Structure 1
C-alpha cells in the first residue's frame, strides 16, 4: 500500500474512479437524481426556512430562492452544487497527488491536474447535453474548476510544508 501511495498510482486510481462515478451520474436524468422526495421526508418541518427565505441570487440566469422554487428544491440546489465542487475537489487533488511522484515538479503537476479536471468538467457538461432532462451549464464547469483548483492548491500547500518546499 505504501508503494502505491508513493508512486502516485493509488491517487490516479481514485481520480479515474471519480471520473467513472461522474460519467455515470451525468448519464442520469434530473428525475433519476432528484432527492426532493428524500429531503421532504428528512426535513419535513423545514428547518431554518424563515432564515433561508431571505436568500435570493442568480445562478446561470435563473433565480435561486425558496420563493422561486420551494424549500426542498432550494436545499437540493446547494446539495447538487456542493457535489459538483466536492467531486472535482477529489478529482483535482487525486490527479495532483498522482502526478507529483511522476513529474517531480509541483507546479507542472498542478497545471496538468487542473487542466485535466477542467477538461473533464467541460466534457461532463457536454455529456449532460446528450442526456435527456439535463441542462449543461458553463457555471457548473466554473464551479467544478474551482473545486479542482482548491483541492490542488490545498494538497500543494500541505505537501510543501511536509517536504519543506513550495515550488
Structure 2
C-alpha cells in the first residue's frame, strides 16, 4: 500500500508528537501563525499538533517532488544528443505535474482522502526548487570550467 492510499488517520504524526511534547509546551513554542490552504484555515495556537502536522505534510510534498524532479533530470542527462538543461528541466517538471495530478486524482477517489489542486501546485514548486538548485550547480561548474580555460 502506498502512502497516497493510506487514510489521513493512518498517516497522522500527531499521536507520535503527543508522546514527546505536551500541547501547552508546543503552543508556547510555536509562533502565532495561521495558514489558509484551500478552504482550510489552521492556526498554530488554536491547534498546535494539527499545525505541526500540516507543516510536516506540506514540507514532505516539497521534498518528495523535488526528489522526483531530480531523479527525472538525472535520468534524462545521459542521452547521446545532450539536450540543453532547460529541456531536461521542462521534461522533469512535466513528469512532476503528471505524477502529482495522478496522485491527487487517486486520493480524490478515496472516501478517506481528498485530492487538492493546491497540492499539485506545491509539488510543482518542490520540483522547481530542486531544478533551480541543480541548474545553479551546473552553471557554477560551467563558469569555473570556462575560467580555467582562459
- What is the TM-score when the length of structure 1 is the normalising length? 0.77
The structure that is helix-richer by fraction is: 1
Q: Could you give the per-residue CA deviations for residues 10-37 of structure 1, whole angstroms, max 9, x where no partner exists? A: xxxxxxxxxxxxx811011111111110
Closer/same/farther in 2, CA of residues 97 and 47 from structure 1, 3 Å limit: farther
Greater relative contact order structure (CA < 8 Å, 6+ sep): 1
1:157 alignment partner in structure 2: 136
Query: When the two structures are superposed, what TM-score results if normalisation uses the length of structure 2?
Result: 0.85
> How many matched pairs?
142
Q: How does 1:16-165 map onto structure 2 within 5 Å? A: 24-44=2-22, 46-47=24-25, 49-50=27-28, 52=30, 54-68=32-46, 70-102=47-79, 104=82, 105-164=84-143
Structure 2: where are the runs of 5+ without partners?
146-150
Q: Distance in 1 between matches of 2:108 and 2:128?
A: 24
Instruction: Provide the alpha-carbon RMSD of the alignment.
Output: 2.0
- CA radius of gyration, larger in: 2
Gaps of 5+ in 1: 1-22
| SS class of match (1:101) | coil
Runs of 4+ in 1 over 6 A off after TM superposition: none
